[in-house]
Amino acid sequence: MTPFARLADLALPPRCPGCGEITQHDHRFCTRCWSSLRFLGPPWCALCHAPFEYDRGEGAACGECMANPPVHSGVRAAVAYGEVARAVALKLKYSGRLACAETMAGAMARLMPEGADLLVPVPLHRWRIWRRGFNQAALIAKSLSKMHDVPVDAELLRRVKATPVLRGLGHNGRAKAVAGAFALRGDAESLRGKTIVLVDDVHTSGATANACTRVLKRGGAEKVVLLCWARVLGDAPLD
């Protein structure tokens, strides 16, 4: 953000991050947006953390994980993807305003895994960064880092291959599309024994998370947990 934009930001009244209505405080949703957000948490699948309607007992996994167990240690999402969650994500993606990243990070903070050693944003391909000017996941990771005092390395993981839109592809098709798409920075130190928190804005399928996890584990990471703002559940439409 330019100094001018920052100043303009200060002069404006706080607005709901969902609908833009004027609110009392920064980062607060209006009542309507707040009540339409579905906050996620346990009971959830022991492997991917997809929420369960009821507690199925310790260690219970969802059908998807029984068919294809993830290589990561779960996806922790603040909210289910829906109209308001989408509005906030788009606002950050197209404005790069740190306030939006802070709103998301604030909602994600309660799900920070125990013993987190390092925050690593899911990388964008450099062409996309070049066009957009920033990686929204890195902005969220930086906000989280301030809240939790866990260091962030936004350059550790790189997207070395541009990937197609994964929507509409099956499990194997998605895995194939992201194979070889990620790599560690050449001079990266060993991640041996570390718990890495992979940060993203919207989680759609496990393919990207699994591909990133494989690369981080090859670099020595012991555990990789995904922490994101919103998760697409079931057949929720995505656009």
Q: How many CB atoms lie within 10 A of CB 212?
A: 26
Contact 224, 196 (CB under 8 A): yes
Q: Confirm or reject binding of residue 16 to Zn ion (CB under 5 A).
A: yes
Task: Give the DSSP H or E segment for 33.
Answer: helix 31-36
Cα 94 to Cα 51: distance, rounded to the nearest angstrom:
29
Beta-strand pair 182-184/75-80? unpaired
- Least distance CB 86 / Zn ion (angstroms): 13
The interface region with Zn ion, picked from 14-22, 152-160, 162-170, 197-205 by CB under 5 A, is 14-22
- Least distance CB 20 / Zn ion (angstroms): 7
Q: Binding mask 20-59 vs Zn ion (x if CB under 5 A, - otherwise)?
A: -x--------x--x-----------x-xx-x---------
> How many chain residues interact with Zn ion (CB under 5 A)?
12
Of residues 35 and 172, the one with the C-beta less far from Zn ion: 35
Q: Confirm or reject binding of residue 209 to Zn ion (CB under 5 A).
A: no
Among 37, 65, 107, 175, binds Zn ion (CB under 5 A): 65
Cα 42 to Cα 24: distance, rounded to the nearest angstrom:
31
Of residues 30 and 122, the one with the C-beta less far from Zn ion: 30
- Least distance CB 157 / Zn ion (angstroms): 23
- Least distance CB 65 / Zn ion (angstroms): 3
Cα 136 to Cα 228: distance, rounded to the nearest angstrom:
11
Burial of 154 (0-12, 13-18, 19+ CB in 10 A): middle
Cα 167 to Cα 222: distance, rounded to the nearest angstrom:
30
Of residues 46 and 141, the one with the C-beta less far from Zn ion: 46
Of residues 63 and 186, the one with the C-beta less far from Zn ion: 63
Task: Give the DSSP H or E segment for 231.
Answer: strand 223-231
- Least distance CB 208 / Zn ion (angstroms): 16
Contact 238, 207 (CB under 8 A): no
Of residues 75 and 184, the one with the C-beta less far from Zn ion: 75
Q: Confirm or reject binding of residue 98 to Zn ion (CB under 5 A).
A: no
Binding site for Zn ion (CB under 5 A): 16, 18-19, 21, 30, 33, 45, 47-48, 50, 62, 65
